[in-house]
Amino acid sequence: MIHCKCNFYSDSLKYHTDINVLLPKPAGGEEEFPVLFLLHGGSDDCNSWMRQTAAERYAREHGVALVMPSGHNSFYCDAVYGEAFFTYITEELVPLVRRLFPVSDKREETFFAGSSMGGYGSTLIAMKRPDLLSAFGVFSGAIDPYRIETRLREIGINDVRFDLIFGGSETIEGGPYDLFKQVRDFPDH
């Protein structure tokens, strides 16, 4: 496996950010790898999939490139008051990775998956930008931020700023970041 740790300035985020990229082997000639973007959960970073899972082993066995960005506690949204993580992932990171690394630019060979908050992000991307990917995965997904905020506060976790991300958890239900509404409104294919 080839491990590339990249740090670059993001026009969408307006600061430098990190990604980890794993390639199954050196690309030879015109070879391109299918690519899986792995989105971490809250309070983690671009290193969590490498530290806490066997993702590298599975990627090597199946010949898949992995891209693991840092998403902070963003829910991978364009925050009402803050960073534009959805725009960063969909309009900046995906094209950048396709330009710099030997990965496929085909929808059929592009996948997203995430744990917890990253599961929310991969679902949001799949619902709003189905042109980018052919499949997505959710592991213990935090797909209902409205109810999650209440539960986090009950157990004393107050550092996820739902007010900054969504404009307050009460604005989620029925709005553009309500994944259940996204599913109901998703066009039939």
Summarised one tens digit per residue, pLDDT across range 120-139 is 999 999 999 999 999 999 99
Mean pLDDT of the chain: 91
Using the predicted structure, report yes or no on whether residue 188 has a pLDDT greater than 70. no
CATH code (residue 121): 3.40.50.1820
Give how many domains the chain has, as a whole number.
1
CA distances from 130 to 21, 43, 108, 133 (A): 22, 27, 11, 6
- Residues 132-187 have pLDDT tens digits of 999 999 999 888 887 888 787 888 877 778 888 888 878 888 888 889 888 888 77
- Does residue 111 form part of some domain? yes
Q: With cut-offs at 50, 70 and 90, classify the pLDDT of residue 189.
A: very low
Q: Using an 8 Å Cβ cutoff, are 2 and 18 in contact?
A: no
Residue 180 within a domain: no
**Whether the model pTM is above 0.85:** yes
